[in-house]
């Protein structure tokens, strides 16, 4: 799954640690999600969307590999 967390962080000029603190996860979790090594839970994706004031779909998109698995 592709994500735009790094882009959204840049818009707000915040670090991974600042985002992690805001949504109550570790910086390592944010790093893993940004690098597509970890897919967040629905609850975590919703928290991120709320923090960035956008929809989950604005941050996360299925990539071609994800579509083929369905």
What is the largest distance, in Å, between two alpha-carbon atoms of the chain? 36
Q: CATH code at 13?
A: 1.10.260.40
pLDDT of res. 34: 97
- Give pLDDT tens digits along the chain (70 positions): 899 999 999 999 999 999 999 999 999 999 999 999 999 999 999 999 999 999 999 999 987 666 666 5
Domains: count for the chain: 1
Structural domain including 7 reads 2-69
The whole-model pTM stands at: 0.87
- What's the confidence (pLDDT) of residue 57? 95
Spatial separation of the C-alpha atoms in residues 38 and 26, rounded to whole Å = 13
């Amino acid at each position: 799954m592709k994500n735009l967390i790094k882009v959204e962080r840049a818009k707000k000029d915040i670090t991974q640690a600042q985002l992690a603190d805001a949504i109550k996860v570790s910086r390592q979790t944010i790093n893993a999600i940004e690098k597509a090594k970890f897919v967040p839970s629905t609850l975590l994706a919703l928290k991120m969307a709320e923090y960035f004031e956008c929809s989950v779909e604005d941050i996360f998109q299925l990539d071609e590999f994800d579509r083929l698995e369905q």
